[in-house]
Amino acid sequence: MEQIDISIQAQRSGTLRFRRLLALSTIMSIVIIIATVSALSTDWYAHVRSYRAQETRGANPQEFILNRTINIWNLEYRKVQLDLPYGSQSEQEKYEPFSKTASIIKVAQGFDLIALFVVAALHIFLVSCFSRAIRTKLYLLLGARLMKVIPVLLTFCVGACLMIASIGFLGINKALDMDGFNCECTSSFAKFYKEIVAESSFENPYTHTIEPVNILRQDDWGPQAGWFLTLLQIPFVFVMLYSVFFNQAPLPVDHFALADPL
């Protein structure tokens, strides 16, 4: 009788641990799904070039924006916005089918989509395992080894796709240069650059006096939310990999003379 009680307690403990790790895996899959959908629908890269007039006299020289051009790349198109003192205008353009930039963009989009479909399938599998009846049928159909190997392989696939998408996108600067995009962003993936390009005069909008100024060109470029979301999912993948690798589904109740109902 004492041995039966020990067996029941061990089964209860194993089932509780299984459910906890299964819940952790399910939460991680939800986080990855949300982050991947967000990454697919937001901007990935941006380049901003602005021209400013900087006063050369006075203790606290002021700067005035003359114009600013904003280029934003997402996984579907490039958006160009021109800001002028009297207003702004913007336009969108699709990527050239065989351009280097389009190749980099489509690789990131493709592997993000693969990761999304795989993690969605994994999420369905994990949620199904909460049901004792479904879990028992899967166990008898697939066996103990496949019940453990399938979620591990799917998690590996998700992590590999996200890493390829994020690392492959590092080539965007070279692709832009090869496609003839006129910018200074070929030296670094993300950078801030500022230089004096001319000397001129400018009417101060506050004092309405003519002031000698330096014309500054400022370039800012770097990754945006989409790339960071893809990269930051990788730690969550490792957590999910841990939870599915060290989790062990309890044997179906038919394998026990006495079983603890879930």
Q: What is the pLDDT along the chain (262 residues), one digit of tens a residue?
A: 444 444 444 445 556 677 888 889 999 999 999 999 999 999 999 988 888 877 776 666 677 778 888 999 999 989 998 888 777 788 888 888 888 999 999 999 999 999 999 999 999 988 988 887 877 787 777 777 787 888 899 999 999 999 999 999 988 888 888 887 766 666 667 776 666 666 666 666 666 666 677 788 888 888 999 999 999 999 999 999 998 888 776 555 544 443 444 4
End-to-end distance of the chain based on CA atoms, in angstroms? 22
**Residues contacting 28, CB < 8 A, separation 6+:** 236, 237, 239, 240, 243
Candidates 223, 241, 220, 221; CA nearest to 165 is 223
**Residues contacting 228, CB < 8 A, separation 6+:** none
